[in-house]
């Protein structure tokens, strides 16, 4: 065995950084797990002592390990941001580095008075021990000698083990359940990083909340296991959702299996969902890069159809009482207004109020009441409903009464148009703000405009999204763009008007200038789609502005390039004219 004396290397931030405290022993120990992540470990084992025993805390990983030279130049260089010197990602697995301040490696000393580090790599084992008593005995930590012992080891062995002895008696013993909760949201679903706490693998069941483990049989897929928790707090917020596992590997990012598209689901509750679906039967539908399932996968749709009702049922079980309490907060005056409505409107209004309560779950009671008041106001004063009742009554009388009722309908129709025009002006204000935001992508503009094609002019009002045509896009272009480059597939909208004409819109982000390459790309989609359908297809590109190289001559027919701000300005002029025509 060889021994060598080393010293701490300290930078000017040491005093400030060492004054920082961790809020719990478990969070301090998590720093040591972060170090294992940065060392490209695949497995971490944490052993915690039973209360009132002398057993140590042991954290062991199978990461890259360190040589004595690396211990001296990097590990003992405290208060130094390792990203500055060694990059943002780890050397082997290209993980985003978590260790930042350079003192987390000594976080275990918050729980214990003595820390021994043993690390193995390249046939060498290196070891040193650091004691709090030694630190207290020197005025300048930079002068504290650290003895590093080395010896030969198995050339195939690698990793680091940290042993913490003589636990601080004034602190509570670290708790295994709290330790798992400190780690679950960050490491519970990592594809190649598993953590064991006292022999138990970190899992969804470690989330504090309502846990569900259910297996269903999906036609064409086979058994699908759904394991999820609805957390008591919003602690799942950053990692919320359910990951898909196929053959043990995580596919893509967490999703909500369609909950985000349901209008009757309180969207604030999504942040409480944390889980995973194991569906090995989808292996043939996973993209080559293992980053997603093929978009038009019928098997994934079948899994979603089975999974979503289970999620909804669990949420209703967990939050039924909260929704009932929200309803109880509605004032007596609202209940009186419901009771005073005609029976046919009362039933509709009651359902609408219930949906509003679910949709805006979590809002302050005063805000909730405002939502309901506005809703009831609209239901009580629907001009069309009142006028059509008059027309119905007039039909039993003479033609003069019918004529008067129809004139009343015209007045109501005009009032509705004015209300609509003012609302559309407000919509354009919000759309313009969205377009001016530098972080806005094509996906956000797509979502805002797809069902509001009136901004393009009266002709486009009659276009509507067609699911059959959408499926044609997926079938025609999905094969061409699936695989490693699937994420590069553009944002497309395909619509159809009442005459069967088709409109293909390709959105670009507002900061993007439409260029010649965009033009070629768009017409290539039309050519590809034309092989699968007989209807003519008009093409529209929408972006921030037109680049000088966008073709103006010798361009294919029925191809337009529009800038978002020009479209918004034209829509404003049309509404201004409409409002002036009503006066």
- CB atoms inside a 10 Å sphere around CB 195: 27
Specify whether the CB–CB gap between 542 and 564 falls below 8 A: yes
What domains can be seen in the chain, in order of their start residue? 2-196 (3.30.565.10), 203-325 (3.30.230.10), 327-412 (no CATH), 437-580 (3.40.1350)
Q: Which value, to the nearest 10 degrees, does the dihedral of the CA atoms of residues 332, 338, 341, 343 take?
A: -130
User: Which element (helix H / strand E) includes 167?
Assistant: strand 159-167
pLDDT of residue 412: 56
For residue 134, what are its two tokens?
């030694």
8-state DSSP, 89: B
Torsion sign (Cα): 401, 403, 409, 414: negative
pLDDT digits (tens, 9 = 90+) for 117-150: 999 999 999 999 988 777 665 555 556 678 899 9
Pick from 182, 235, 191: which is nearest to 209 by CA?
235
pLDDT digits (tens, 9 = 90+) for 467-480: 555 555 565 555 55
Average pLDDT over all residues of the chain = 79
Question: 234: number of CA atoms within 13 Å, CB side?
Answer: 8
Specify whether the CB–CB gap between 256 and 242 falls below 8 A: yes
Mean pLDDT is lowest, of 43-47, 60-64, 546-550, for 546-550
3-state helix, strand, coil in the chain (%, to 5): 45, 25, 30
8-state DSSP, 290: S
Cα dist from 540 to 432, 498, 521, 564, whole Å: 19, 18, 12, 12
Rounded CA-CA distance 200/197 in Å is 5
pLDDT digits (tens, 9 = 90+) for 199-236: 999 999 998 888 999 999 999 999 999 999 998 865 66
Rounded CA-CA distance 411/21 in Å is 70
Residues with Cβ within 8 Å of 343's Cβ and at least 6 positions away in sequence, in order, are none
What percentage of the chain carries pLDDT values higher than 70?
69
Question: 262: number of CA atoms within 13 Å, CB side?
Answer: 18
Query: Taking residues 326-353, what's their average pLDDT?
Result: 71
Q: Which value, to the nearest 10 degrees, does the dihedral of the CA atoms of residues 546, 550, 556, 559 take?
A: -10
Specify whether the CB–CB gap between 435 and 509 falls below 8 A: no
pLDDT of residue 566: 93
What is the distance between the terminal CA atoms of the chain, rounded to a whole angstrom? Answer: 97
Query: Taking residues 408-430, what's their average pLDDT?
Result: 73
Rounded CA-CA distance 25/59 in Å is 14
Query: Which of 78-82, 179-183, 267-271, 356-360 is the most confident on average?
Result: 179-183
Helices and strands (DSSP H and E) totals, the chain = 16, 23
Backbone φ, ψ for residue 551 (5° rounding) = -65, 135
pLDDT of residue 365: 62
Cα dist from 557 to 109, 348, 362, 493, 554, whole Å: 73, 49, 52, 19, 9
Cα dist from 573 to 415, 429, 435, whole Å: 19, 13, 18
Cα dist from 239 to 190, 266, 276, 495, whole Å: 11, 18, 12, 35
pLDDT of residue 575: 85
Torsion sign (Cα): 297, 301, 304, 306: negative
Rounded CA-CA distance 526/494 in Å is 11
pLDDT digits (tens, 9 = 90+) for 529-538: 787 777 788 8
Query: Taking residues 396-404, what's their average pLDDT?
Result: 63
Query: Taking residues 343-360, what's their average pLDDT?
Result: 72
Query: Taking residues 290-316, what's their average pLDDT?
Result: 90
Cα dist from 257 to 336, 351, 378, whole Å: 39, 25, 33
Does the pTM surpass 0.85? The reply is: no
The beta-carbon contacts of 342-347 under 8 Å, at least 24 apart in sequence, are 345/379, 345/380, 345/385
DSSP reduced 3-state for 514: strand
Q: Which value, to the nearest 10 degrees, does the dihedral of the CA atoms of residues 33, 39, 41, 46 take?
A: -30
Query: Taking residues 241-252, what's their average pLDDT?
Result: 90
Max CA separation in the chain (angstroms): 114
Q: Is the pLDDT of residue 299 over 70?
A: yes
pLDDT of residue 11: 42
pLDDT of residue 245: 92
Q: How confident is the model at residue 486 (pLDDT cuts 50, 70, 90)?
A: very low
What percentage of the chain carries pLDDT values higher than 90?
30
Cα dist from 375 to 351, 356, 372, 422, 456, whole Å: 11, 9, 5, 18, 30
Rounded CA-CA distance 526/524 in Å is 5
Pick from 542, 514, 338, 527: which is nearest to 446 by CA?
542
Specify whether the CB–CB gap between 254 and 239 falls below 8 A: yes
Rounded CA-CA distance 85/76 in Å is 14
């Amino acid at each position: 065995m060889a021994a060598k004396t080393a010293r701490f290397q300290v930078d000017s931030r040491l005093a400030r950084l060492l004054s920082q405290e961790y809020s719990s022993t478990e969070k301090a120990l998590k720093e040591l797990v972060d170090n294992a992540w940065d060392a490209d470990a695949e497995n971490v084992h944490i052993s915690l002592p039973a209360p009132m025993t002398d057993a140590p805390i042991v954290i062991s990983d199978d990461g890259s390990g360190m040589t004595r030279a690396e211990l001296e130049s990097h590990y003992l260089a405290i208060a130094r941001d390792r990203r500055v010197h060694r990059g943002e990602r780890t050397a082997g697995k290209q993980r985003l580095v978590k260790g930042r301040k350079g003192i987390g490696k000594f976080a275990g000393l918050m729980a214990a008075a003595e820390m021994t580090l043993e690390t193995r790599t390249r046939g060498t084992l290196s070891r040193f021990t650091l004691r709090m008593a030694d630190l207290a005995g020197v005025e300048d930590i930079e002068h504290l000698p650290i003895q590093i012992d080395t010896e030969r080891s198995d050339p195939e062995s690698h990793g680091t083990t940290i042993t913490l002895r003589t636990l601080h008696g004034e602190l509570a013993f670290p708790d295994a359940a709290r330790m798992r909760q400190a780690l679950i949201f960050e490491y519970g679903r990592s594809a190649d990083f598993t953590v064991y706490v006292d022999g138990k693998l970190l899992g969804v069941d470690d989330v504090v909340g309502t846990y569900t483990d259910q297996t269903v049989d999906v036609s064409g897929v086979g058994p699908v296991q759904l394991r999820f928790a609805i957390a008591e707090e919003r602690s799942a917020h950053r990692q919320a959702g359910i990951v898909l596992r196929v053959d043990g590997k995580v596919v893509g990012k967490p999703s909500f299996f369609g909950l985000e598209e349901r209008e009757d689901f309180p969207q604030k509750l999504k942040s409480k969902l944390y889980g995973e679906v194991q569906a090995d039967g989808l292996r043939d539908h996973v993209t080559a890069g293992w980053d997603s399932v093929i978009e038009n996968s019928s098997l994934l749709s079948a899994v979603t159809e089975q999974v979503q009702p289970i999620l909804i049922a669990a949420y209703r079980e967990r939050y039924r009482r909260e929704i009932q309490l929200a309803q109880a907060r509605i004032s007596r005056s609202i209940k009186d207004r419901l009771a005073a409505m005609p029976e046919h409107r009362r039933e509709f209004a009651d359902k609408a109020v219930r949906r509003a309560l679910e949709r805006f779950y979590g809002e302050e009671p005063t805000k909730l009441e405002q939502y309901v008041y506005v809703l009831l106001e609209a239901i009580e004063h629907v001009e069309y409903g009142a006028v059509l009742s008059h027309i119905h009554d007039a039909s039993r009388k003479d033609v003069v009464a019918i004529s008067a009722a129809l004139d009343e309908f015209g007045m109501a129709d005009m009032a509705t148009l004015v209300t609509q025009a003012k609302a559309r002006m407000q919509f354009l204000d919000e759309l313009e703000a969205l377009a001016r935001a530098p972080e806005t992508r094509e996906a956000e503009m797509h979502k805002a405009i797809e069902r509001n094609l009136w901004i393009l002019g009266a002709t486009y009002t009659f276009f509507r999204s067609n699911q059959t045509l959408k499926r044609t896009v997926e079938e025609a272009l999905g094969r061409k763009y699936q695989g490693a480059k699937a994420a590069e597939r553009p944002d497309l909208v395909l619509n159809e008007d009442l005459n069967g004409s088709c409109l293909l819109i390709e959105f670009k982000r507002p900061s993007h200038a439409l260029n010649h390459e965009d033009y070629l790309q768009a017409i290539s989609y039309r050519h590809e789609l034309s092989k699968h359908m007989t209807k003519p297809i008009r093409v529209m590109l929408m972006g921030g502005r037109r680049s000088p190289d966008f073709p103006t001559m010798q361009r294919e027919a029925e191809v337009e390039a529009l800038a978002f701000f020009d479209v918004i300005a034209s829509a404003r002029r049309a509404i201004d004219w409409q409002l002036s025509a009503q006066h």
